[in-house]
Amino acid sequence: MSTTKKEADTRGLAGQTIGETAVCAVNQTQLIYRGYEIADLAANASFEEVAFLLLVGHKPSSGELDAFSEELAQMRSGLGEGVLSTVERIARETPDAHPMDVLRTAISLAAHEDPDCGDNGPEAELRKSKRLLATIPVIVGTHQRALDGLPRIESDPSLSHAANLLWLMTGQKPGEIAARVMDVSLILYAEHDFNASTFTSRVIASTNSDMHSAVCGAIGALKGNLHGGANEAAMEMLKDIMEDTASGDMTVDAWMERAFAEKRKLMGFGHRVYKNGDHRAGILRDWGIRYAEQENPDTRKWFDLGDAVQKIMLDSKNIHPNVDFPCGMTYFAMGIPVPQYTPIFVASRITGWCAHIMEQHQNNRIIRPLAEYTGPELLEWNG
Ligand code: CMC
C-alpha cells in the first residue's frame, strides 16, 4: 500500500469505520453511552447505573437499579476457592507477575466454573457479564492483599462497586470522596466504542467463541501501554520527571526537550480520535485535585507537575492529555499501587466489553478483513 500523503496513512485502521454499534458513539467533541453524554453521566450517575445502562441497554428505574445492585453484591462471593487460592499462590511464588497477567489467568480459570461458559445466548451472556463485573474487584483485591502479605477479606454488600474495590484492596472502608472519585473514574473508563481491547473482544466473539475467552483477549490488548497500560506508564513517567528535576540540575522544560529530541512517546498524551482533547481528562483531573487537596495535600505537587508537562506538550506539539494522564495522578494520590491501575480499568471496562460481546453475538458475522500482500512475487519451490 503506498501512502504518499500523511493523511492517507490508514495503518492501524486509522479513520476507518469497520462496523456498527448501538452501545457508544465517539466523535471529536463527545463520548456518548447509549444516548447519554459522558459529562452528564460523570456528574449525575453512579457506576452501577452506567453498568446497567451499558449491559441491559436502558437507564435503570430505581427498582431495576436496586435489584441489579443487590444481585451484583451477592455475586461477589461467587468465585471458587481454586481461583482465589491460585491468585494468592501466584502472588507468593511470582510476585513480579503483572497484575494484568494474573487477572487474565484468574478469569480464564473462572471460565471453567461458570455454568454458562459455553452458552452464547443473551440470557446466559447477561448473567456472565454480571458475574464478571461483580468478581473482578475480588480478584484484584485478593491479589493486592496477597502481594502485601495479608489475608483476603470478604466483600461488603453495603458498599458500591467502587467502594468495595477499594475496601478489598486496602482493608479500609473508603471515605465519601475516595468512593466518589473511584466511581467517577470507573464511569469514565466504562466504554469507548471500537477501541483496541473492545475490538479484540468482538473479533474473538465473532468466531462463536465464548465471553470469557473474549474477555481474556481484551485484557491482553488493554495491558499494552499504547492503550490501558498508559495510566501506569503516565505515572511512571511523572515519577521519572520528578526524580530527574528534584535536584534542580534539570528543569521540566529541559526534560521535555530531551524527550522530544529522543522522539519519545509521552505516556497519557494523544488519542486516535480526540485531536482537540479528551474531555474525560479534564473531568478526572478536577476530581483528582479535589481528592488530593482534601485528603492527601502532599500529592498536590503531582498535579502541578502534570499541568506543567501538559502545557509544554500543548505548546510544543499541540498534543492534549488523554484520560490516562490524570488517572495516574489520581490513583497515586489515593495510594493505589501503580501496577493495579490497569486492572482497575478492567473492573470498569468489563461492562463495555460485555455489552459489545453480546451485541456481536446477537447479530454475528465472523470478522475477517483482507490484507494487501506486500511479499515476494510467486516463486518456484524447486526453481
Ligand atoms: N507523545 C509524543 N508524540 C505523540 C504522542 C505522544 N503521546 N501521541 C502522538 N504523537 C505524535 C505521533 O508520533 C505522530 O507524530 P508523527 O506524525 O511525527 O509520526 C503524531 O503525533 C500523530 O500521531 P497519531 O496518528 O495521532 O497517533 P495514533 O492515532 O497512531 O496513536 C496513541 C494514538 C494514543 C496510540 C498515541 O497518541 C500514543 O502512543 N499515546 C501515548 C500512549 C497513550 O497515552 N495511550 C492511551 C490512549 S487513550 C486511552 C486508552 O486507550 O487507555
Question: Domains of the chain (ranges plus CATH)?
Answer: 230-333 (1.10.230.10)
Q: What pLDDT, on a 0 to 100 scale, did the predictor assign at position 19?
A: 95
Q: How many Cβ atoms are within 10 Å of 271's Cβ, its own excluded?
A: 19
What sign for the dihedral angle of Cα 157, 161, 163, 165?
A: positive
227 lines ligand 1 (CB under 6 A): yes
Question: What CA–CA distance (Å, rounded) separates 134 from 214?
Answer: 17
**Can you name the residues that pair with 32 across neighbouring β-strands?**
25, 37
**Is residue 227 among the annotated active site residues?**
yes
Is 240 a known active-site residue?
A: no
Which among 114, 193, 210, 324 is annotated as catalytic?
324
- pLDDT by residue for the chain (383 residues), tens digit each? 444 445 568 899 999 999 999 999 999 999 999 999 999 999 999 999 999 999 999 999 999 999 999 999 999 999 999 999 999 999 999 999 999 999 999 999 999 999 999 999 999 999 999 999 999 999 999 999 999 999 999 999 999 999 999 999 999 999 999 999 999 999 999 999 999 999 999 999 999 999 999 999 999 999 999 999 999 999 999 999 999 999 999 999 999 999 999 999 999 999 999 999 999 999 999 999 999 999 999 999 999 999 999 999 999 999 999 999 999 999 999 999 999 999 999 999 999 999 999 999 999 999 999 999 999 999 999 98
Lookup result for grid cell 470478604: 154
- Ligand 1 proximity of 226 Cβ (cutoff 6 Å): yes
Cα-to-centroid distance, 67 and ligand 1 (Å): 42
Q: What is the pLDDT of residue 331?
A: 98
Q: Which single residue is written with the C-alpha cell 479513520?
A: 15
Neighbours of 149 (CB within 10 A): 9
The three grid cell numbers given for residue 153, joined into one nine-digit string: 477479606
Ligand 1 atom with the smallest distance to the CA of 11 is 30
The residue whose CB lies within 8 Å of the most ligand 1 atoms, and thus the one to mutate among 274, 315, 322, 344, is 322
From the CB of 228, is ligand 1 less than 6 Å away? yes
Does the CB atom of residue 349 touch ligand 1 within 6 A? no
Q: Which grid cell is 119?
A: 452458552
Quote the cell numbers at residue 81: 476457592
Q: How many angstroms is it from 51 CA to the middle of ligand 1?
A: 29
Q: Which of 193, 195, 265 to mutate to test the pocket of ligand 1 (most atoms within 8 A of CB)?
A: 265
The predicted structure's pLDDT at residue 4: 45
Distance 15 CA to ligand 1 centre (A): 14
The verdict on whether 143 is a catalytic residue reads: no
Task: From residue 224, give the alpha-carbon distance in Å to each of 196, 228, 229, 244, 331.
Answer: 10, 6, 5, 25, 19
